[in-house]
Structure 1
């Protein structure tokens, strides 16, 4: 939206003039100016705590209403039922969107969040802020990539208990670049089930259009696979990356 961008630029120019003139500026003013200037208005976010059934809980849907794919660095703040921030709760991500690891095509992307700290069961929503973002070349994704794990003998490992490779299938008309995360959930019988561990499985991989690619498991992920695979609900998820 042009108006907010112009307002943010005005704040930044006023701040710069003030700094050059030697006047005092509070840290809060600097933070607000930088946050406004770096906000990407093309992105919007929707948090779902409990998706119901066997669907993944605590998901943040990231919609991209712009004309280009972007690589954002996001900040997540837990909110209570009144919309008040909960600074005592730390928010972690499965795919690393808070470190700029996720690409958001114009078709959108998603993230899984984890809340750690006393009172995390009181979290009702999350506030998402775009700290910075940059445009990138990434195709529109009609169908999300699928993953299938295999053990050392080449047999499918449907419980992700002892797999050594993952086949990623891309049914789209363009090649896509993905990374993989091995995610294990707590396995609660009721309520939102948050993930307890998320570790990268391999390197950045380009999956050809209407084709597949095999990713070898990084040795560093084996400890988590042995500890959680076959004992908790687990999955290997492909996410758009760079």
Structure 2
């Protein structure tokens, strides 16, 4: 199933791709969640098909608000279950034509089954590369499979705070030695941490995540609690290399 995901509108997923690599038409671009044509599965529809119907998407290249990330994909999950989608994408220009030489990948892994989407809203960050990467105005999302998460996720994002070698709070732009994770939800969270270096594009071009480094591994954060992850190895080298620069982020995302 493929759909175009507008910058300022939602498009609902109908029946998911039954065979990986084959696209199934039938959803009208721009339809609101729950209003997609041919969205009801047949009795023989797979569990993945049924779960995929709970997902809808919105792409925003630039929100126009300072200090917000660019090239965001918002994932809306209408089920009470946490879901793990595997998505693929086609980049579109302002005339809604496919940009065939632009590769679309993700930071958090919704294209490889690494991101857990809880009930409600979650996000991923898209990355574009190849000839025409600066011409991307929209994306078309293809749902390959969807499964229930082994580890459920809460409604709120787990927040991050950079710490120095003495455990003191410092800016993410400084040379930090650890990251403190804080979970506001009533259930434990299982997250991964991405340290993101952003480029500095000219006006009118969206900001791109040019380097993504994993900090630590899958980390459990207790309900209404915190956890501290030490920065080591490749992550420590990335912090040394990119600290005191103009644009970095430390983001936690639900995973399994």
TM-score range, shorter chain: 0.7 to 0.9
Instruction: Select 1:194's aligned residue among 208, 223, 234.
Output: 208
Residue ranges of structure 1 left out of the alignment (5+ in a row)? 13-27
Once residues 104 and 134 of structure 2 are traced to their aligned partners in structure 1, the CA distance between those partners, rounded to angstroms, is 13
Partner of 1:31: 22
Residue-pair matches, total: 218
Partner of 1:82: 95
> Aligned-pair distance for 1:153?
3.1
CA contact (8 A) 2:161 2:172 kept: no
Structure 1 position 104 matched with structure 2 position 100: no
Residue ranges of structure 2 left out of the alignment (5+ in a row)? 1-13, 25-44
> Aligned-pair distance for 1:119?
1.7
> Aligned-pair distance for 1:189?
6.1
TM-score, length-scaled by structure 1: 0.81
Partner of 1:73: 86
Partner of 1:43: 55
> Aligned-pair distance for 1:67?
3.1
Instruction: Select 2:195's aligned residue among 178, 182, 188.
Output: 182
Once residues 171 and 124 of structure 1 are traced to their aligned partners in structure 2, the CA distance between those partners, rounded to angstroms, is 35
Once residues 142 and 71 of structure 1 are traced to their aligned partners in structure 2, the CA distance between those partners, rounded to angstroms, is 15
CA contact (8 A) 1:168 1:207 kept: yes
CA contact (8 A) 1:68 1:137 kept: no
Instruction: Select 1:142's aligned residue among 155, 165, 190.
Output: 155
Higher helix share: 1
CA contact (8 A) 1:71 1:101 kept: yes
CA contact (8 A) 2:153 2:254 kept: no
> Aligned-pair distance for 1:139?
4.5
Once residues 183 and 70 of structure 2 are traced to their aligned partners in structure 1, the CA distance between those partners, rounded to angstroms, is 24
- TM-align CA RMSD: 2.5
Once residues 202 and 157 of structure 2 are traced to their aligned partners in structure 1, the CA distance between those partners, rounded to angstroms, is 28
Structure 1 position 212 matched with structure 2 position 222: no
CA contact (8 A) 1:105 1:138 kept: no
> Aligned-pair distance for 1:160?
3.5
Q: Which SS does the other structure have where 1:203 is aligned?
A: strand
Structure 1 position 62 matched with structure 2 position 53: no
Q: Which SS does the other structure have where 1:81 is aligned?
A: coil
> Aligned-pair distance for 1:68?
1.4
Q: Which SS does the other structure have where 1:183 is aligned?
A: strand
